[in-house]
Copies of this chain bind each other. A is one copy, B any other.
Amino acid sequence: MAYRNILVAVDLSPDSQILVHKAVSLAERDGAKIYFIHVDVNYADIYSSLVEEDLGPEQERIEKENRQLVQSLIDAAGYPISATLYGKGDFIQALENAVVKYDIDLIVCGHYQDFWNTLKSAARQLIHRMHIDMLIVPLSKDNDEYFEED
């Protein structure tokens, strides 16, 4: 029943470290592999007002920053991180690809991140169809908007 391949959805907030520690705690007993995934779901929203030719350098800068933040999570994990995946936009598709590629059997995610909003509609695909356990961890960001009713 132990997990073999754990995927941590890191959103690069300071709280991401909590998720990483949870994953390491679950992984270390049986030597499970840990993978990170970071999907920049907000990018399109934030920059939709910019003209297209401006996106290139700005996007590059953000991606570079994100990779540095992920690297600092990897450095602080105290456990080998087998691979890190980066995606943009379609979080669910990126997760599904990762699940298939690395034979993931547990996804660890924070409860406030954008994942939560997609959870309702995508739950069937992720949990049910793909048969993946999900560990949802409460984080400190007090943001009620993620819990508004439809």
Contact = CB atoms under 8 A, between A and B. Distances in A.
Interface residues of A, number: 29
Nearest to A131: B138
B134 A136 contact: yes
Given A22-B1, A131-B138, A136-B136, A144 B120 contact: no
How many copies, total?
2
A133 B131 contact: no
Given A1-B25, A138-B133, A150 B150 contact: yes
Contacts of A25: 1-2
Contact of A1 (B21, B116, B131, B134): B21
Nearest to A148: B124
Interface of A: 1-2, 21-22, 24-26, 29, 111-112, 116, 120-121, 123-124, 127-128, 131-138, 144, 147, 149-150
A131 B111 CA distance: 10
Nearest to A136: B134
Residue of A1, A29, A112, A132 with highest tally of chain B CB at under 10 A: A1
Contacts of A116: 123
A127 B133 contact: no
